[in-house]
Amino acid sequence: MEDREWLMDRRFAGMNLGLQRIELLLQKMDNPQMDFPSIHVAGTNGKGTLCAFLSSAAANSGLKVGLFTTPHLVVVEERVRIDGEVIDSQTFDEHLSTVRAAAVEVGEELGEEPTFYECTFAIAMISFSYAGIERAIIETGLGGEGDATCLVDADLCVITTIGLDHTEILGNTREQIARAKAGIHREGVPMVVYHPGDESILKTIAGVAGDDLYVHEGSGSIVDYWEDWYIFAGYIAASFGWELPTKEINWPGRSPNWPPSELFDPRIRISAAHNSDGFNADLLAIDNPTILLIGVTQKADLNTALSDVTSEIWHMATFRHIIVTEPTTGRNPAVEAEELAKVIFANRFDEPIIEKDPSKAIEIAEIMSRQAGCDISAMGSIYLVGDLLKFAVQRSDGDLWEHLRVH
């Protein structure tokens, strides 16, 4: 079995929190994660955006910086960036070969091999070590406590927002989720939290972080979140004596300068709004009559996640047409378009337009947009963003790697 095939097979091992496998895996490779200092970031929404800004700030300050984020949109290599650029496939494969050999040994000793996520994290750590980076920006995969990224040498921990996501694993309340995410705290290491707006949640985090806790008040805006994360990143950058990040970084599905005009019509807005907080923020930003294109992956509580999308307030004058599709990749399978349509159309009298292929769905939306003079808002799973990006790059004969460059 080829190394890539082996790695992709690891996806079917599922998620499995705990540090025993990854700790042994990294030990077998001489703990590359200890070769550089890291900023460790957890949160429900905004953590990837904040990490991208921090990577930009470090690079603007003359540091060689590694950025580890998940999930990937199109290619697995994009989980590993150096100075904002996705590492090349040859380098990825070389480190994958090393990780696979060590992972097989781990499997023989523990009875189970490391997960897909743990292996990609290990690849990132080796890549950063070999590249000689001076600073790493590390996004947690899920929660905080028990996440593989807890093994990095962090000199600052950060929590962005606390929302109801991954409730089947992290807990059913925001307080339980906050406690799980605060698990990235290390004794004596400062932890900065974006004020959650709820004192009980802040109290929960303080119960974990103690005297190491610092609170960033933020604006509390759920509309101009990009500005908020930029300011937060600048606050953190200043604490290190860094330059400010570049505001116009490229962060597909999240930055306001995306999608680029060479890929999509300027009337199209594409967002990775994968939970209730994200959907709410995106809906509030819609001002004009809009064609909605939506596709999501399976959630513990689909109705709760889509509560704002299904609210009657959006369905009279705002959504002229709704196209329902299915993301083609992802850790969780897509919600079937017919099932998703039943939830969304509970308060509508027209019929959904169902097109399971995202590339065909966006083409339908583009045609309808031109005919009706409407905007398009594509939202849902981050994997839907990846599907649309891949299709648009292929359609324009563009350079995918360049479109995945952050700064």
Contact between 55 and 65 under an 8 Å Cβ cutoff? The reply is yes
Say yes or no: 176 and 324 in one domain.
no
- Give the Cα separation of 368 and 356 in Å (integer): 17
Say yes or no: 91 and 197 in one domain.
yes
Say yes or no: 162 and 279 in one domain.
no
0.85 exceeded by the pTM? yes
- Give the Cα separation of 195 and 374 in Å (integer): 37
- Give the Cα separation of 379 and 389 in Å (integer): 13
> If pLDDT is split at 50, 70 and 90, which confidence band does 307 have?
low
- Give the Cα separation of 370 and 367 in Å (integer): 5
Say yes or no: 229 and 284 in one domain.
no
Say yes or no: 278 and 164 in one domain.
no
Residue 337 included in any domain? yes
Give the other-Cβ count within 10 Å of 361's Cβ: 26
For the sheet with 191-194, list strands across it: 85-86, 80-82, 65-68, 135-139, 38-42, 154-159, 191-194, 213-216
- Give the Cα separation of 314 and 293 in Å (integer): 14
- Give the Cα separation of 345 and 315 in Å (integer): 9
Say yes or no: 231 and 375 in one domain.
no
Span 6-39, pLDDT tens digits: 999 998 766 666 899 999 999 999 999 999 999 9
Residue 250 included in any domain? no
Kindly state the percentage of the chain with pLDDT values over 90: 69
Residue 262 included in any domain? no
Kindly state the percentage of the chain with pLDDT values over 70: 90
What pLDDT score does 167 carry? 46
Say yes or no: 274 and 171 in one domain.
no
375: domain CATH number is 3.90.190.20
Span 64-115, pLDDT tens digits: 999 999 999 999 999 999 999 999 999 999 999 999 999 999 999 999 999 9
Residue 148 included in any domain? yes
Count CA within 13 A, CB hemisphere, residue 125.
30
> What is the total count of domains within the chain?
2
Span 137-147, pLDDT tens digits: 999 987 788 89
Residue 358 included in any domain? yes
The yes-or-no verdict on residue 47 having pLDDT over 60 is yes
- Give the Cα separation of 313 and 302 in Å (integer): 19
Residue 176 included in any domain? yes
Q: Mean pLDDT across the chain, nearest whole number?
A: 90
Domain that holds residue 167: 3-240
111: domain CATH number is 3.40.1190.10
Span 153-212, pLDDT tens digits: 999 999 998 876 554 555 568 888 899 899 999 999 999 999 988 898 999 999 999 999
Say yes or no: 92 and 35 in one domain.
yes
Say yes or no: 163 and 77 in one domain.
yes
